[in-house]
Structure 1
């Protein structure tokens, strides 16, 4: 608690620089990264992050000093050249974009390492710390760096705010954007420029190796929490800002711990939690949904089985034992017992001395399932020309997910049929 209080008070100017710089970098990168992810260009961010290294080295070789603005300019130029190279290779050859990205990334990064090695053996005293661009050194941020970060972050956020609707259209429906006359190519260039700019500014904090994680991870994590672009951008920015401050706190309490990698580690942890626990898209939520659907299908299959048993005897309302139900439709005994218990609690079946039978409400629900099954069988045979003896399995799967709207559409399309392909009566709606 004492460490947290000291961190929040931030009496040390360097702590303020590191914290604010990390927050600005993380939040602005996440906002731009949302559009990169939605445009399915996540790997491009990784390529740009590795391609800026030769630009940093060339700027140092030409100037002989570590002028932050010159280094940023050099990295921006090579970052842009890497994108041009990717587009050229993709459009002028048969090489796919992912292969082109791999080629450009490895070549540019290899050239950067070559230049960096040459600088280290040149004897130039100003080279000290230049290798920090590989892995970043947020703890070395000073007031001038904070001004640069603040200016670039403001530029990134203002650009997204002013062109939000246009970026949204380009990200989701480029064809429609062209149709209404938007300058799609120009907007793509602006988005690409913002991506390069976000990467270029971030390399001083987290380095070229980890910068793509700063760009992509928060956007990918935020996508699991919302279906709205505005919500995605907001969540990604807040998540990154919190992780930026958390990384600075870890570095403050344990000086041997680097800020940049810890920001990425915390971001990755939040991303994993999002993948697992997001309420609708998370893995746990999907597994629970699948479990509910399977149980619902099992209960509907039991209702349908009781109906078919009565139909085979031309008399509904009779009772049947679990053995008779199992002989008609194979299912695990424990699963059947649990499903029958739930059906009874819902008032769809009743249990007597001679077995299980459908209630009035259960009969209506069973007729609905059988009706959907036979309508779908008829559709498959008449419109998709599937043999009548091959449609049962498909109908078994689809009968549980057909909505009332689709049911009505099927009836209209089939001209309100009364029998399925096997000439079995289709139950009518009660």
Structure 2
């Protein structure tokens, strides 16, 4: 607890620099990463992250200093050139984008490693610590770094706010944006520039190897929680900021632990939890929804079956033994019993000594399922001109998801039919 209060008191200047720097880096890159993710260009961030290394090395060779602003300018130039190279290769050849990304990434990173090796063997004492751009070292952030990163982060956020509408349209409907006269090429270059800036501003914290994770992971996690871009940007920024603070705290309490990798590890844990437990798109929610749908289909199939058994003599309330139900439809006995008992608890069935009988509510629900099944069969034969013996399976599926509005529309389109394609009465 003492370490907790010492850290969050921010009395230590180094703690302030590292924490604020990590928050700025993580949140700003997460915001830009949302647009990169929605543009389906997630691997571009990895290419840029590896392509900035030669720029850092060249900036050091030409300037002879490790001034963070000069190094950032060098990183920005080569990172931007890498994206231009990817676009050029993709548009001027038959090479696909993923292949172009792999080519550019390997070439730029190879050149960067060669330059870094040359610098390390040059005898220049100022080169000490330059290799931290490979794997990051957020704990080494100082006031000058923070000013440079803060300026870039603010520029990223301002650009996102100013061009939010245009970038949103570019991500979701590029063709429409081009049609109404938006400068699509200019917007693409703007997004390219923002992506490069986001990568450049983060390499000193997590390095070129892990920077792609900081760009994409918060955006991917936020995407599971919402379908609104504005909220997605806010959630991604908050997740990135939290991972920045948590990573800095872990590094503070355990000095042997590097800050950058812990930031990536924490945001990855947040992403995994989002993938699993997000209320609508998570794995758990999907499994529960599948289970609910499976139960609904079983219930409606049982009620439909009992209604069909009562159609010949119009006796829908006669008790039906479970053997009669299973003989008519191939349902596992255990599954059928579970469905029957659940329908009884819902008030659609009653248990009789002779078997199971429907209540008035059960007859009404069973009648509707049969009506939807036969309406859809008739629609397929009349409007899609399918053979009557080819429509049953499709109707078995669609009958469970037809809404009352669609049911009414079918009745109108089919002119309130009486018989289905098999000459069975439509109830």
TM-score by length of 1: 0.97
Corresponding residue number in structure 1 for 2:199: 199
Cα distance in 1 between the residues matched to 2:273 and 2:151: 32
Corresponding residue number in structure 1 for 2:304: 304
Cα distance in 2 between the residues matched to 1:284 and 1:327: 35
Q: Per-residue displacement from partner, 1:372-430 (whole Å, max 9, x unpaired)? A: 11111122222323222222111111110111122222223323221111111111xxx
Corresponding residue number in structure 1 for 2:240: 240
Deviation at 1:95, TM superposition (A): 1.2
Cα distance in 1 between the residues matched to 2:219 and 2:273: 14
Q: Per-residue displacement from partner, 1:191-219 (whole Å, max 9, x unpaired)? A: 11111001011101110011111111001
In the alignment, is residue 331 of structure 1 matched against residue 331 of structure 2? yes
In the alignment, is residue 261 of structure 1 matched against residue 277 of structure 2? no
In the alignment, is residue 381 of structure 1 matched against residue 381 of structure 2? yes
Return structure 1 stretches of 4+ with deviation > 4 angstroms.
Answer: none
Corresponding residue number in structure 2 for 1:151: 151
Cα distance in 1 between the residues matched to 2:173 and 2:390: 39
Q: How does 1:104-119 map to 2 (within 5 A)?
A: 104-119=104-119
8 Å contact 2:307–2:316 — kept in the other structure?
Answer: yes
Cα distance in 2 between the residues matched to 1:421 and 1:101: 56
In the alignment, is residue 18 of structure 1 matched against residue 25 of structure 2? no
Corresponding residue number in structure 2 for 1:178: 178
Cα distance in 2 between the residues matched to 1:150 and 1:350: 70
Deviation at 1:16, TM superposition (A): 0.8
Q: Per-residue displacement from partner, 1:7-46 (whole Å, max 9, x unpaired)? A: 0112221111000000111111111111111111111111
Cα distance in 2 between the residues matched to 1:349 and 1:124: 87
Deviation at 1:336, TM superposition (A): 1.6
Deviation at 1:314, TM superposition (A): 4.3
For structure 2, list consecutive stretches of 5 or more residues without a partner in the other structure.
none
Deviation at 1:313, TM superposition (A): 4.3
Q: Per-residue displacement from partner, 1:232-281 (whole Å, max 9, x unpaired)? A: 11111111101100000011011110000000000000000000000111
For structure 1, list consecutive stretches of 5 or more residues without a partner in the other structure.
none
In the alignment, is residue 315 of structure 1 matched against residue 315 of structure 2? yes
Corresponding residue number in structure 2 for 1:135: 135
Partner secondary structure for residue 311 of structure 2: helix
Cα distance in 1 between the residues matched to 2:184 and 2:312: 64
Cα distance in 2 between the residues matched to 1:128 and 1:346: 74
Corresponding residue number in structure 2 for 1:280: 280
Deviation at 1:334, TM superposition (A): 2.3
Out of 218-227 and 160-169, give the one that drifted further: 160-169
Deviation at 1:359, TM superposition (A): 1.2
Out of 227-236 and 172-181, give the one that drifted further: 172-181
Partner secondary structure for residue 424 of structure 1: coil
In the alignment, is residue 349 of structure 1 matched against residue 349 of structure 2? yes
Cα distance in 1 between the residues matched to 2:270 and 2:137: 22
8 Å contact 2:243–2:267 — kept in the other structure?
Answer: yes
Cα distance in 2 between the residues matched to 1:276 and 1:215: 21
Corresponding residue number in structure 2 for 1:252: 252
Deviation at 1:170, TM superposition (A): 1.5
Cα distance in 2 between the residues matched to 1:364 and 1:102: 61
Q: Per-residue displacement from partner, 1:342-366 (whole Å, max 9, x unpaired)? A: 2112211112111111111111111
Corresponding residue number in structure 2 for 1:218: 218
8 Å contact 2:56–2:75 — kept in the other structure?
Answer: yes
Corresponding residue number in structure 2 for 1:63: 63
Deviation at 1:167, TM superposition (A): 1.6
Corresponding residue number in structure 2 for 1:292: 292
Out of 80-89 and 377-386, give the one that drifted further: 377-386
Corresponding residue number in structure 1 for 2:359: 359
Deviation at 1:315, TM superposition (A): 2.9
Corresponding residue number in structure 2 for 1:77: 77
Cα distance in 2 between the residues matched to 1:282 and 1:92: 40
Corresponding residue number in structure 2 for 1:92: 92
Root-mean-square deviation (Å): 1.3
Out of 28-37 and 330-339, give the one that drifted further: 330-339
TM-score by length of 2: 0.97
Corresponding residue number in structure 1 for 2:395: 395
Partner secondary structure for residue 342 of structure 1: helix
Partner secondary structure for residue 351 of structure 1: strand
Query: What is the count of residue pairs matched by the alignment?
Result: 427
Deviation at 1:97, TM superposition (A): 1.1
Q: Per-residue displacement from partner, 1:146-172 (whole Å, max 9, x unpaired)? A: 111111111111111122122211111
Cα distance in 2 between the residues matched to 1:145 and 1:332: 67
